[in-house]
Amino acid sequence: MRAPSLTVGIEEEYQIIDPVTRDLTPGFDTLVSSNDAQLADVKAELHQCQVEIGTKVCSSIAELRSELVNLRRLVINAAGQHGLTIASAGTHPFSNWMNQEMTPKERYLGVKAELQDLAHRLLIFGTHVHVGIEDPEFRIDCLNAARYILPHILCLSTSSPFWFGRNTGLHSYRSIVFKNFPRTGVPRILNGWGDYADLVDTLVKTRSIPDGSKIWWDVRPHHIYPTLEFRACDVNTKVDEAVCIAAILQAVVAKMWKLRRDNMTFRVYAQDLIEENKWRAVRWGLGGKLIDFGKQEELPAPVLIRELVEWFLDDVLDELGTRKEVEYAFRILDEGSSAQRQLATYARTGDLRAVVDQLIRETAEGVCEPFLGPPLESMDSRSAAVPGSMATPPTPLSPVRGQSVP
């Protein structure tokens, strides 16, 4: 069995925002009309208010950081040229999916035709991390074992506490929306590459799917490239958070290989148990508890995340040269996830537009200057000075300020 290359790549889905209203806007075609050849690599997504970037295959986390910073800067600046701005979070705090335009491309129209309103409702934004594993059998071995840490990583990345102008009470509402799609969630234990290949073959032969790209598990073998693709995370708001998540996942694969090389293994747990931990991550994020299945007890999520880094991954971090990036997880534990920061801003301001402004600033942090709209105070004071005007539109679904409605 060949050692994995451990190359890394990341895809991120961003929100295209009108900086005045702070709402999503169908700006993809406008954004890519900018005179920059690099924008040829920027991709459309299911909705016109979304834009996806993807790094090239990177040999190190340092290279990945450089790629990701450049791509974020490219998209933010291109949006700014057209009076738009960019935010990175798993859901928009108040936009209404029923108001959004679908992307009129064959791929997305096919998804809409098959999944109907489930596709239109999929107004969510995620991060996908690829780690190079050339041997298909080890790719499956690693998938089986790495499922265990998916809830831990999700806790760190949660960035979708709001939906449709409401505080959902969850930290990753994106996970709930995506769960409505078929072939999603934590995969079952696979009995080798042949088991996976048989599954895909059966689904293709029965015209259930065209290929493995329509298997949307939280972690899956990529249908074209020799990578294991981790898909459980909300899109990360700060670039440092995204790099941290990628570095942790690369280290997890490296540790699984080291165990396999030394004729050891990591215990593989049932799908039901991992789904229970995933629910806890979705509901409470870093503020909740996860189950330590070895001890059969629940512990605070930050305790188990620290254990993952300090005990399980420690002996591969210096070999990979990623200790700084992986240990950024401790800063997330101290300062809060994006979801926690959004909730704190809303508790302080009572205005979801302020949450959007925070997301815009944090998306650009360490990348470039953010492109912000007029201050909310001046907008509200001008509106209040006009007889019969309102600072925000009426919101029959919820009293939350800033909500868009049908």
Beta strands at 184-185 and 216-217: parallel, antiparallel or unpaired: parallel
The pair of three-digit structure tokens given for residue 402, joined into one six-digit string: 């800033």
Please, is 381 exposed, middle or buried when counting C-beta atoms within 10 Å of its C-beta (0-12, 13-18, 19+)? exposed
SS (H, E, C) 357-400: HHHHHHHHCCCCCCCCCCCHHHHHHHHHHCCCCCCCCCCCCCCC
Query: Which long-range contacts link 369-372 to residues 24+ away (Cβ below 8 Å)?
Result: 370/76, 370/85, 371/19, 371/76, 371/79, 371/80, 371/84, 371/85, 371/86, 372/19, 372/85
Question: Residue 398's pLDDT is what?
Answer: 43
d(CA 341, CA 344): 5
Question: Residue 391's pLDDT is what?
Answer: 41
Within a 10 A sphere around the Cβ of 108, how many other Cβ atoms? 17
Contact status, residue 249 vs residue 153, Cβ threshold 8 Å: yes
CA distances from 70 to 63, 109, 366, 367 (A): 11, 31, 11, 8
In CATH, what number does 8-385 get? 3.30.590.20
Closest-CA residue to 148 (of 232, 227, 241, 264): 232
Give one word for 169, left, alpha or beta, with left for phi > 0 and alpha for psi -120 to 50: left
CA distances from 228 to 26, 55, 134, 136, 192 (A): 32, 15, 9, 10, 14
Q: What is the pLDDT along the chain (406 residues), one digit of tens a residue?
A: 789 999 999 999 999 999 999 999 998 888 888 777 677 778 877 788 999 999 999 999 999 999 999 999 999 999 999 999 999 999 999 998 888 887 777 777 777 788 888 887 889 999 999 999 999 999 999 999 999 999 999 999 999 999 999 999 999 999 999 998 899 999 999 999 999 999 999 999 999 999 998 999 999 999 999 999 999 999 999 999 999 999 999 999 999 999 999 988 899 999 999 999 999 999 999 999 999 999 999 999 999 999 999 999 999 999 999 999 999 999 999 999 999 999 999 999 999 999 999 999 999 999 999 989 888 876 666 665 555 443 443 333 344 444 433 3
Question: Residue 383's pLDDT is what?
Answer: 61
Domain definitions of the chain by residue range: 8-385
d(CA 400, CA 402): 6
CA distances from 306 to 100, 153, 218, 289, 328 (A): 40, 12, 22, 13, 11
- Check residue 312 and report its DSSP letter: I
**How many helices and strands in the chain, by DSSP H and E?**
17, 12
State how far Cα 101 lies from the chain centre. 21
Using the structure block, give the residue that is written with the tokens 């934004």. 125
Q: Phi first, then psi: give them for residue 256, nearest 5 degrees.
A: -60, -40
Contact status, residue 173 vs residue 299, Cβ threshold 8 Å: no
Question: What sign has the CA pseudo-torsion 274, 280, 282, 286?
Answer: negative
Question: Residue 111's pLDDT is what?
Answer: 78
Question: Residue 404's pLDDT is what?
Answer: 39
Contact status, residue 175 vs residue 280, Cβ threshold 8 Å: no
Question: Residue 207's pLDDT is what?
Answer: 95
